[in-house]
Structure 1
Amino acid sequence: MDLRSNFEAGTSRWATRRAQWRALGLSDEDMTKPKIAVVNSSSDLAICYSHLDEISRRVKAEIRAAGGLGFEIRTTAPSDFIHSAGGRGGYILSSRDLIVNDIEAAVEGALLDGMICLASCDKTAPAQLMAAGRLDVPTIIVACGYQPAGTFRGAHCDIEDVFLAAGHLAQGRIGLGDLTEMSEAAVLGPGVCAGMGTANSMHIVCEALGMALPGSTPVLANSPAMWATVAAASRRIVEMVRTGLKPRRILTRDAFANAVMTVLAISGSINCVKHLQAVAAEAECDVDVYRLFEEYADSVPLLTAVRPNGPHPIEAFEAAGGAAGVLKQLEGRLNTSALTVTGRTVGENLAAVEVSDEEIIRPSGDPLARRPAVVVVRGSLAPATGIVKLAVDEERELTFTGTAIVYDSVDDAMAGLRAGEVREGHVLVLRGQGPKGSPGMGMASRPVFALDGAGLTGKVAVVTDGQLSGLVNKGIVVGEVSPEAADGGPLALVENGDRIAIDVAAKTVNLEVPGDALARRRSGLAEVADPRGWLSIYRGTVTPLQKGAVLRGG
């Protein structure tokens, strides 16, 4: 085969690599085979990744059986619940781009022929898609599954229940013993959070984009279904290298439109918006994902309500048909001619798909709701973008006008809540949490959950340039406001007592302060202190959210 990884015999590159690989036990015949990177974000720090080493081992064996040669490569392995502790939470989003560069260094440095990427926690799937778009070598994403959840006093209990309960403890509504018992019961095995959070949402997005095998998401970790996909994907990636099927033929505007419609139909994580924009940027696909969400928001119906958006566990959603089932119900709206990693189109992949339970995955003509759960908003406080995630069963008036109470860190906001500073009618403004401000984008969910614990959901709104848990849908929360405060956005100019008006139906968020007053405030803005190390590099190169918050030089 004419592979970029095969060097001319007798050259120094051929000779030195042969010496290295012969010492690894490889034969001269092995060295002519398609060389596949097995991208493994394994780590002992988080349960999300604890099963990936065995998956990687089996993938390499399957690739060899299919006539290829698998090389395991490692990347950083971020977990939101573990790695948000330091750097004001900035190591979470920024680690997505570290993964992309880890992959580039290994795959491009060695000129490998393709990639099979083991997707687990929130940032791995988007990073792997971004790397596929950047490098444009044959790639398949394999979702490595969600964790089995437990029960607490007879009720379902998963990691997000623990996160929410911690907010209730902060406000004295539950005891430490209850929270401790919940934390021991919530996670019963490896895999990602067992709900429609960022990880499962992005796994589904991989399939909707055509970058994962059809019918492979979501999936219980270490289940027979997951192992069957592992084997099938390992065989398929070797064939993709042989036929030259590359990601940029798949990652087209039609594919991104399909993914956006799918996120809306499942009430997926708001983090999908920036991740999809980042993938488009790396694939050099000229598409505005934020505008696609606006375009489809009022026409794509909500077809499922998976916890915590609704009553159904992720296991029931998988059994009913999962991503393939949602795509089948959306078939009349999708771009069915879009190409996928199978070498077939979306329409061809869906031909034999059936939804086994239409109460779990509803038909388009009989949806759960026609109001979007993911809403892009704009206005004088968010001139570029902001995002609101709504509960599936949200029925109340989606407007809020109140006076600002401003905090510049999560810890300050939590202290203010404990001190009783935040009261009914306030708009809690949490700023300095964006890609440049943290830097790396801080997690703004703790105050949102604490408001719920204090009984202030619906009585206090939140506006922040930080990111939110993929599952947050408590009251009116405008997240990921751009331009962010650290980039000179209007959020930096808000003062205590300013009036802020939010109208989700009208898709607006406005700061009701005269322009001349804002101009005076802008002249007094202070410079943001620069960190050291990786976060300093990130701050200096990250683009705004509406461009995907990807890294660019200069």
Structure 2
Amino acid sequence: MQLRSNFEKGTSRWATRRAQWRALGLSDEDMEKPKIAVVNSSSDLAICYSHLDDIARRAKDAIRAAGGIGFEVRTTAPSDFIHSAGGRGGYILASRDLIVNDIEAGVEGALLDGMVCLASCDKTAPAQLMAAGRLNIPTIVVACGYQPCGTFRGEHCDIEDVFLAAGHVAQGRLGVDELTEMSENAVLGAGVCAGMGTANSMHIVCEALGMALPGSTPVAANSAPMWDTVERAGQRIVELVRDGLKPRDVLTPGAFANAVMAVLAISGSINCVKHLQAVAAEAECDVDVYGLFERLADDVPLLAAVRPNGPHSIEQFEAAGGAAAVLKQLEGLLHKETLTVTGRTTGEHLASTEVADPEIIRPADRPLGRRPAVVLVRGSLAPATGIVKLAVAEERRLTFEGRAIVYDSPEDAMTGLRDGEIREGHVLVLRGQGPKGSPGMGMASRPVFALDGAGLTGKVAVVTDGQLSGLVNKGIVVGEVSPEAADGGPLALVENGDRIVIDVAARTADLDVPEDVLAERRTRLARTPVPARPGWLSIYQHVVRPLQEGAVLRG
């Protein structure tokens, strides 16, 4: 087998590599084997990464047993709840692309032959898919599981409940003692957030794309099924290298359509939209993911209602068959010819797939609903797009007309709410939070949850170019508005008192201000050069592309 990791004997690269690896205990025979990167985002800073070192060891053992050699390659390990504290929250999305480049430097620099990527918290799975698309070497993504959660006063309690409750504390509707008790019971072990947030949604996306082993998502962290997947991935990656099956063979337009349908069917995270577009960009696959969400929204029924979108737990969803069962129920809509990392097609796998509980994961002819839960809107306020997330059993009104009240940071919005500036009938405009403006894309969910704590859900709408919780939002919230304010988008022109009209059913978000008034404002608000400053976020700000291109980095 011709491996790119092997060099001609007697050359300097062969000799120095042999010297290094002999010192690590490898034999000459080992050096002829496929060399596999085990991509590990381990960290002691967040519980979602705390179990990955053990998984990496097992993966390397499985690779060795299959006739390969595993090398652990580390990356940065961002957690939304930990790393959003600094940089105005900008390190979260920006760290996704840092992981991509960590992988490129570690794997491409060493010319390794394949990758097993250990996916955990929100940004790891999309980053690993992006790196796979960019490097185009045999890759398998392994979902490393969701965390066990607890109860608070007899009711289910997870990390998102804590996040939402903090907004109630900010408005004096919940005591700090209660929030403290919740925080002590919300997370009981390793793994990602237990709801249908970005992490579990993106793990399912990996399987729908064909980049994870069929039947492997979602999965409880450190469970027998997770360990079985680790073993199988170690075996299969060596075969993948020998077979020459690469990510761009899998990441086709049909695969992206399948992934979009899966997200719509499970009411998945809105963050999947930009992440899938970024994966397509890195894989050089000519597909408009935003357009797919718009075109497929009315065709794909809602098949599952996992917390906080509905009553079922992620454990129930896994037991019902997980991603494989969702794809089975969508079989009539899918592109079944798409390849998976097994070397078999999606259709071949679905032929033997069964749905264990059709009440948890409904058939397409008996769905939970047909109104999309992930809705893309456009209009004079969001010429490219904005995104609205609706709960499964959505009863809130889907139209809103109100007067703008404008803030340039979540902190200012929180202060405005506390001081009584934000009142019923307002549209809270939170701008300057996009990829360039933050920079790195700030988290806009705190004001949204604080509005809920103040009893203003449904009475105040929110429009922002920032990102939102991947799980759920309260009231009419239009997020990720593009173009963002810092890139010359209409949000930059909004002033207090402007009339804003949102119609989710019609998929529109408009700024009702005469064009001549807006033209005068544009003259006053001519963009100024981005100030030079050191650091990663400055680099990111200068090279990040718009959300419609996946917010990927291009020089």
Check conservation: 1:215, 1:323, Cα contact below 8 A. yes
- Structure 1 partner of 2:539: 537
Check conservation: 1:445, 1:472, Cα contact below 8 A. no
The answer to whether structure 1 residue 365 and structure 2 residue 360 are counterparts is no
- Structure 2 partner of 1:179: 179
**Structure 1 residue 351 displacement after superposition:** 1.3
**Structure 1 residue 522 displacement after superposition:** 1.2
Q: Which runs of 5+ in 1 are unaligned?
A: none
Q: How does 1:70-469 map to 2 (within 5 A)?
A: 70-469=70-469
Distance, in Å, in 2 between the alignment partners of 1:457 and 1:352 is: 45
Distance, in Å, in 2 between the alignment partners of 1:364 and 1:529 is: 52
Q: What amino acid is aligned across from residue 210 of structure 1 in structure 2?
A: G
The answer to whether structure 1 residue 68 and structure 2 residue 68 are counterparts is yes
> Which of the numbers 545, 548, 554 marks the counterpart of 2:550?
548
**Structure 1 residue 472 displacement after superposition:** 2.3
Check conservation: 2:146, 2:193, Cα contact below 8 A. yes
Check conservation: 2:445, 2:473, Cα contact below 8 A. no
Q: How does 1:516-531 map to 2 (within 5 A)?
A: 516-525=516-525, 527=528, 529-531=531-533
Distance, in Å, in 1 between the alignment partners of 2:54 and 2:554 is: 35
Distance, in Å, in 2 between the alignment partners of 1:207 and 1:32 is: 31
Distance, in Å, in 1 between the alignment partners of 2:513 and 2:195 is: 40
Q: What amino acid is aligned across from residue 31 of structure 1 in structure 2?
A: M
Check conservation: 1:147, 1:188, Cα contact below 8 A. yes
Check conservation: 1:386, 1:478, Cα contact below 8 A. yes
Q: What amino acid is aligned across from residue 342 of structure 2 in structure 1?
A: T
Distance, in Å, in 2 between the alignment partners of 1:478 and 1:81 is: 22
Distance, in Å, in 1 between the alignment partners of 2:342 and 2:351 is: 14
Distance, in Å, in 2 between the alignment partners of 1:280 and 1:147 is: 29
**Structure 1 residue 358 displacement after superposition:** 1.0
**Structure 1 residue 9 displacement after superposition:** 0.4
Q: Deviations over 1:410-445 (max 9, x none)?
A: 100010011111110000000000000000000000
Q: Which runs of 5+ in 2 are unaligned?
A: none
Give the match's secondary structure for 2:25.
Answer: coil
Distance, in Å, in 2 between the alignment partners of 1:219 and 1:173 is: 35
| Structure 1 residues 278 and 212, CA gap change in structure 2 (3 angstroms) | same
Q: What amino acid is aligned across from residue 83 of structure 2 in structure 1?
A: H
Give the match's secondary structure for 1:383.
Answer: coil
Runs of 4+ in 1 over 6 A off after TM superposition: none
Distance, in Å, in 2 between the alignment partners of 1:265 and 1:131 is: 26
| Structure 1 residues 172 and 403, CA gap change in structure 2 (3 angstroms) | same
Which 10-residue stretch deviates more, 523-532 or 71-80? Answer: 523-532
Check conservation: 2:396, 2:458, Cα contact below 8 A. no
Q: Deviations over 1:229-263 (max 9, x none)?
A: 00001100000000000000000000000000000
**Structure 1 residue 539 displacement after superposition:** 0.4
Distance, in Å, in 2 between the alignment partners of 1:396 and 1:154 is: 27
Give the match's secondary structure for 2:384.
Answer: strand
**Structure 1 residue 530 displacement after superposition:** 4.8
Check conservation: 1:41, 1:118, Cα contact below 8 A. yes
Distance, in Å, in 2 between the alignment partners of 1:240 and 1:214 is: 15
Check conservation: 1:402, 1:500, Cα contact below 8 A. yes
Distance, in Å, in 1 between the alignment partners of 2:297 and 2:66 is: 43
Distance, in Å, in 2 between the alignment partners of 1:415 and 1:346 is: 51
Q: What amino acid is aligned across from residue 537 of structure 2 in structure 1?
A: L
Give the match's secondary structure for 1:96.
Answer: helix
Q: What amino acid is aligned across from residue 548 of structure 1 in structure 2?
A: G
Q: What amino acid is aligned across from residue 503 of structure 2 in structure 1?
A: D
Give the match's secondary structure for 2:19.
Answer: helix
Distance, in Å, in 2 between the alignment partners of 1:393 and 1:336 is: 30
Q: What amino acid is aligned across from residue 407 of structure 1 in structure 2?
A: Y
| Structure 1 residues 536 and 138, CA gap change in structure 2 (3 angstroms) | same
Check conservation: 1:443, 1:466, Cα contact below 8 A. yes
- Structure 2 partner of 1:482: 482
Distance, in Å, in 1 between the alignment partners of 2:382 and 2:330 is: 31
Give the match's secondary structure for 1:256.
Answer: helix
Distance, in Å, in 1 between the alignment partners of 2:162 and 2:119 is: 24
Q: How does 1:502-521 map to 2 (within 5 A)?
A: 502-521=502-521
Distance, in Å, in 2 between the alignment partners of 1:229 and 1:70 is: 16
Q: What amino acid is aligned across from residue 547 of structure 1 in structure 2?
A: E
Distance, in Å, in 2 between the alignment partners of 1:524 and 1:169 is: 40
The answer to whether structure 1 residue 29 and structure 2 residue 23 are counterparts is no
* TM-score between both structures, scaled by the size of structure 1: 0.99
Distance, in Å, in 1 between the alignment partners of 2:103 and 2:232 is: 22
**Structure 1 residue 397 displacement after superposition:** 3.0
**Structure 1 residue 531 displacement after superposition:** 4.3
Distance, in Å, in 2 between the alignment partners of 1:204 and 1:242 is: 27
Check conservation: 2:97, 2:552, Cα contact below 8 A. yes
Which 10-residue stretch deviates more, 345-354 or 158-167? Answer: 345-354
Which 10-residue stretch deviates more, 204-213 or 466-475? Answer: 466-475
Distance, in Å, in 1 between the alignment partners of 2:532 and 2:146 is: 37
**Structure 1 residue 391 displacement after superposition:** 1.2
Check conservation: 2:266, 2:305, Cα contact below 8 A. yes
**Structure 1 residue 350 displacement after superposition:** 1.1
**Structure 1 residue 394 displacement after superposition:** 1.1
**Structure 1 residue 529 displacement after superposition:** 4.5
Check conservation: 1:149, 1:186, Cα contact below 8 A. yes
Q: What amino acid is aligned across from residue 543 of structure 2 in structure 1?
A: T
**Structure 1 residue 396 displacement after superposition:** 3.9
Check conservation: 1:125, 1:199, Cα contact below 8 A. yes
Distance, in Å, in 2 between the alignment partners of 1:532 and 1:91 is: 14
Distance, in Å, in 2 between the alignment partners of 1:437 and 1:202 is: 25
Q: What amino acid is aligned across from residue 500 of structure 1 in structure 2?
A: I
Distance, in Å, in 2 between the alignment partners of 1:263 and 1:229 is: 22
**Structure 1 residue 352 displacement after superposition:** 1.3
Give the match's secondary structure for 1:412.
Answer: helix
Residues matched between the structures, number:
553
| Structure 1 residues 147 and 379, CA gap change in structure 2 (3 angstroms) | same
Identity of aligned residues (%): 83
